Amino acid sequence: MQALEGIKVLDFCRNAPGMFCTMVLADLGADVLMVERPMDETRSAYEKLVAGIDGPDDERRHAAFNALQRNKRSIALNLKEPEAQGIFHRLAETADVVVEGFRPGVMDRLGAGYEKVKAINPRAVYCSVSGYGQDGPYSQMAGHDINYISFAGALGLIGPEDGKPSIPLNLIADYAGGGLCGAVGILAALMAREKTGRGQYVDIAMSEGVLYMLSGLVSDVLSRGISAQRGGNRLNGGAPYYNVYQTKDGRYFSIAAIEPWFWENLCRALELEDLLPHQDATGAKKAEVEGALTRAFLTKTRDEWFELLQDANISVGKVYSLEEALDDAHARARGMVLEVEAPGIPEGTVRQVATPVHLSETPGEIRHLGSVTGQSTAEVLEELGFDAAAVADLKLRQVVQ
């Protein structure tokens, strides 16, 4: 048994934030059905450009390796057609959750908005993951992760003090502010439904998710008028004891000797006891401390430093590439990389990252790999009562694919 077994999710997401949200639900046992638009020439060209997909074999291989598609089935509906909207409405009758990632208003125009779903199924939880939320001056504005973290105040805090902001991949807004906050909101709404018997609307704005994650720094601004500065805060490059240093082999090593006892252990391990009184030095003395640490770490390789310091009660880490992270002994011991059978592609197996939510009684798992567009269309329609002739007719008329 899995935690979300029996929960039916209709997934209208096309991009990482919503797809990650529904992946979290699927990994925990939910039956997720991707409701996709048919693969026409425009979409095919876009997929070829972004994912390198060139033909059915590439699409199958991409789906198998793409973790964001795993544990999900796919039905392709042309929602511009009333018949396709009718099929969605029938799916909505028994759905527990609907998740979409379009700009406000798009789902209403497709006959699949919240009010329509609520009228069909008052128990459904409906989640919209967007950049700026469903209302407000920016609600219709285009955006991506870099824009959302800009407006939330996060991007301005990342990078060197004397340089421009550094772009931290699309992890903060897309995956955390959007995907994770969306999953939390949906789970909370499902819990509330147990008490009220009713579903509700979950409005997730990625920009707000980022601001929420800055709550500690926001509290300093609101209570004391103290605003963090790029490269000046002790946790964003402003402190020698919480920083990254290059090692003898050209790699990098991180230290986080925030607590005084960690700092003392670090100084003694590096034979730099003269730095002990100067953990929070400023000005020229701070530069002196940083210079001493820089020179010290250049005397050994990254892995040599780890062997020396990992058990010294300091807080250290090797700065890994993704390949190294996947092959790390601790990650392997914790089962964070799984090998899954993948019939139909040349490799035969696929390695993917596991869920980090370790449930003792109802663990998450990869039940099956990702589906290509429309892979389950016939199966889902048959579950709704359509016979083979009706399915063939709908495909012929391009209502479904």
pLDDT digits (tens, 9 = 90+) for 172-192: 999 999 999 999 999 999 999
Distance of CA 396 to the CA centre of its chain: 37
Chain position carrying tokens 């991707």: 34
Query: Catalytic residues, which ones?
Result: 144, 174
How confident is the model at residue 65, as a pLDDT? 93
d(CA 29, CA 77): 24
DSSP β-ladder status, 72-76 and 97-100: unpaired
- Nearest Cα residue to 369 out of 347, 339, 344, 342: 342
- The answer to whether residues 61 and 358 touch, using CB atoms and an 8 Å cutoff, is no
- Nearest Cα residue to 157 out of 237, 52, 221, 63: 237
Distances (CA, A) of 331 to 26, 325, 335, 336, 375: 22, 7, 6, 5, 33
Same domain, 163 and 31: yes
Of 78-87, 109-118, 206-215, 342-351, the one with minimum mean pLDDT is 342-351
- Number of residues in the chain: 401
Q: Is 209 exposed, middle or buried (0-12, 13-18, 19+ CB in 10 A)?
A: buried
Same domain, 287 and 343: no
Same domain, 143 and 98: yes
What average pLDDT does range 315-320 have in this prediction?
Answer: 98
Same domain, 90 and 145: yes
pTM for the predicted model, two decimal places = 0.94
Domain contains 232: no
Domain contains 220: no
- The answer to whether residues 104 and 117 touch, using CB atoms and an 8 Å cutoff, is no
pLDDT at 8 over 90: yes
pLDDT tens digits for 32-45? 999 999 987 666 66
How confident is the model at residue 58, as a pLDDT? 83
Domain contains 235: no
Distances (CA, A) of 55 to 48, 52, 77, 343: 9, 10, 20, 18
Within 225-365, residue ranges assigned H as helices are 260-269, 283-297, 302-309, 322-327, 329-333
What average pLDDT does range 276-280 have in this prediction?
Answer: 97
How confident is the model at residue 40, as a pLDDT? 74
Same domain, 346 and 306: no
Q: 206-213 and 215-224 helices cross at what angle (nearest 10)?
A: 70
Within 122-259, residue ranges assigned H as helices are 145-152, 181-196, 206-213, 215-224
Tokens (6 digits) for 168: 């931290």
pLDDT-derived band of residue 247, with 50, 70 and 90 as boundaries?
very high
Same domain, 319 and 342: no
Domain contains 230: no
Using CA atoms in the order 193, 194, 196, 201, what is the torsion angle rounded to 10 degrees? -10
Domain contains 229: no
Distances (CA, A) of 362 to 2, 3, 187, 365: 5, 5, 15, 9
Of 111-115, 143-147, 228-232, 380-384, the one with minimum mean pLDDT is 228-232
Tokens (6 digits) for 382: 């048959």
| φ and ψ of 250, to 5 deg | 85, 0
Sheet holding 8-12, edge to edge: 72-76, 31-36, 8-12, 97-100, 125-130, 201-205
Range of the domain at 317: 242-325
What average pLDDT does range 323-336 have in this prediction?
Answer: 97
What average pLDDT does the structure give for the chain?
95
CATH code: domain of residue 298: 3.30.1540.10
Distances (CA, A) of 367 to 47, 67, 72, 131, 345: 25, 12, 9, 31, 17
Share of the chain above pLDDT 90, in %: 92
Alpha carbons within 13 A on the beta-carbon side of 82:
0
CATH code: domain of residue 181: 3.40.50.10540
Q: Is 251 exposed, middle or buried (0-12, 13-18, 19+ CB in 10 A)?
A: middle
Task: Name the domain boundary from 325, 360, 386.
Answer: 325
d(CA 70, CA 22): 10
Same domain, 177 and 262: no
Chain position carrying tokens 């798009």: 106
Task: Name the domain boundary from 305, 325, 345.
Answer: 325
d(CA 399, CA 84): 6
d(CA 396, CA 401): 9
d(CA 395, CA 345): 26
